[in-house]
Copies of this chain bind each other. A is one copy, B any other.
Amino acid sequence: MDKLEDLKERLQGFADARDWDQFHSPKNLSMALSVEVSELVECFQWLTEEQSKCLTPQQRQAVIDEMADVQVYLLRLATKLDVNLLEAVEQKMQINAAKYPADLVRGSAKKYTDYKQNADQKCDQVSDKKA
């Protein structure tokens, strides 16, 4: 079995054994995911970009712990919504490769921000279609 799928099963077992599954609606998990990401952001907020590249061993371990928490909640959300994260990433990479040909994009910060903008427009479509 794929390692991420194995992790998903074990995390489900972990939650089941503790009666925690009742709290894990997708809505709540998205909130928990955002809280964990902010704990990661907190590790970097007062560091310069250069400092963020040269963490002390203690900073590094703390960052790793928070990254693990982010991955855990993303896997929990994937479980509750029956999503295969690796497939989702593969699809996204294909879309991005077609959309941003390296030859055209290289050296252009404009294109980089377009990349982000595009992701947001997808998000807009969600809101739009949600109603």
Instruction: Please give the residue numbers on chain A whose beta carbons come within 8 Å of chain B beta carbons, in ascending order.
Output: 2-4, 7, 10-11, 14, 17-20, 23, 25-28, 30-53, 55-56, 58-60, 62-72, 74-75, 77-78, 80-81, 83, 85-86, 88-89, 91-93, 96-97, 100, 102, 105-117, 119-131
Contacts and interface: CB of A to CB of B under 8 A. Distances in A.
Contacts of A39: 35, 38, 119-120, 123
B28 A35 contact: no
B74 A74 contact: yes
B130 A113 contact: yes
25 contacts: A4-B4, A18-B111, A26-B49, A27-B44, A27-B51, A27-B52, A30-B37, A30-B44, A30-B52, A32-B45, A33-B70, A35-B42, A39-B120, A53-B80, A59-B126, A62-B125, A63-B126, A66-B123, A67-B77, A67-B85, A69-B119, A113-B130, A114-B128, A120-B120, A121-B124
